[in-house]
Structure 1
Amino acid sequence: MKVTDILRLKGNTLYTCTPDDTLRQAVDTMAEKDIGSLVVMEHGDLVGMLTFREAIAAIAANGGSVGTSLVRKVMDDHPLTCTPATELDEVRRMMIDAHARYLPVMERRMLMGVISFYDVAKSVVDAQDFENRMLKAYIRDWPAEDGDGVDGAAKPSA
């Protein structure tokens, strides 16, 4: 499975902000939309990611207040990215190694979407569920061979 498969199922809704937005605006957007990250865009280019991790760290550093910080001061300005063709196993390794919960998906300089650790986990579970259903159907429909009993042992002769 590839990242493009996740994006196809997930849809193409993206939430963004600019580096000059206030942290307050960004946090309000994240709370309103019930999302954990915003892609930070400037002049059509990805310039960073703001996740709840950076927001909480900035709030803690400001004595528990959002204050007047700009997104550019608290965002991750070198976020880990992947491409639509990246294999899911590689994405899992990247996210675990970097402790990243969100990955922008880039095709050259074009932002294609964002995948979360939840999206990756859900796709793995869905794929395993599908495989389990197929295996159970295969076993249930296992063709009986001539001379075999129910348990596969030869039938006794009369």
Structure 2
Amino acid sequence: MQVSDILRVKGSALFTVSPDTPLLLAAQTMAQNDVGSLVVMQSGMLAGMLTFREVIAALAGTAPAQTRVGDVMQRNPVHCTPLTSLDELRRLMLDSRTRYIPVMEDTTLLGVISFHDVARAVVQEQDFENRMLKAYIRDWPQDDAQTAANQSLSHRI
């Protein structure tokens, strides 16, 4: 499974802000849309990421009403491509301690993958594998010795 597969299932909803956006407005956008991150775009390019972690840290600081997204955003966020495998993505998220990763194709933003999206994809993949294994076991061909023994028993009865 690749990132492109997760994006296809997840859909294309994407929420962005500019670095000049007031932090409180960005926090309201996150709350209204029930998202844990916003992609920060400037001149059509990825400038950073704003997650609830940065929002909480900024709100705990001084003068949050005057704070702009660009003051607290993650600059140069870790990102992946649509061809990144699910295993690579999990490792990347764990190693970078990142819950939200933008998906980029060259300079084009395709979406954001959350840790929740990854967990859902893993569960779906495991469910599929389990169904396939159960079907394989259920349809397991009997070997010739077992077949012969069963036929011998049925003839005796």
Shift of 1:119: 0.7
Q: Give me the whole-angstrom Cα distance separating, in 1, the residues matched to 2:99 and 2:146.
A: 52
Q: Aligned to 2:66, what secondary structure does the other structure show?
A: coil
Any residues of structure 2 matched to 1:1-158 within 5 Å, and which? 1-62=1-62, 66-148=64-146, 154-155=149-150, 158=156
Unaligned residue ranges in structure 2 (runs of 5+): none
Question: Aligned pairs, how many?
Answer: 153
Percent identity between matched residues is 58
Show CA shifts across 1:102-155 (max 9, x none).
000000000011000111111111000001011111211222344426xxx944
Q: Give me the whole-angstrom Cα distance separating, in 2, the residues matched to 1:36 and 1:57.
A: 14
Q: Give me the whole-angstrom Cα distance separating, in 1, the residues matched to 2:126 and 2:149.
A: 34
Query: What amino acid sits opposite 2:37 in the alignment?
Result: S
Q: Aligned to 1:67, what secondary structure does the other structure show?
A: helix
Query: What amino acid sits opposite 1:82 in the alignment?
Result: C
Q: Give me the whole-angstrom Cα distance separating, in 1, the residues matched to 2:16 and 2:38.
A: 5
Give the TM-score normalised by the residue count of structure 2: 0.91
More helix by share: 2
Q: Give me the whole-angstrom Cα distance separating, in 2, the residues matched to 1:145 and 1:110.
A: 55
Q: Give me the whole-angstrom Cα distance separating, in 1, the residues matched to 2:72 and 2:47.
A: 12
Query: What amino acid sits opposite 1:55 in the alignment?
Result: V
Unaligned residue ranges in structure 1 (runs of 5+): none
Q: Give me the whole-angstrom Cα distance separating, in 2, the residues matched to 1:121 and 1:154.
A: 47
Q: Aligned to 2:57, what secondary structure does the other structure show?
A: helix
Q: Aligned to 1:29, what secondary structure does the other structure show?
A: helix
Give the TM-score normalised by the residue count of structure 1: 0.90
Q: Give me the whole-angstrom Cα distance separating, in 2, the residues matched to 1:21 and 1:34.
A: 18
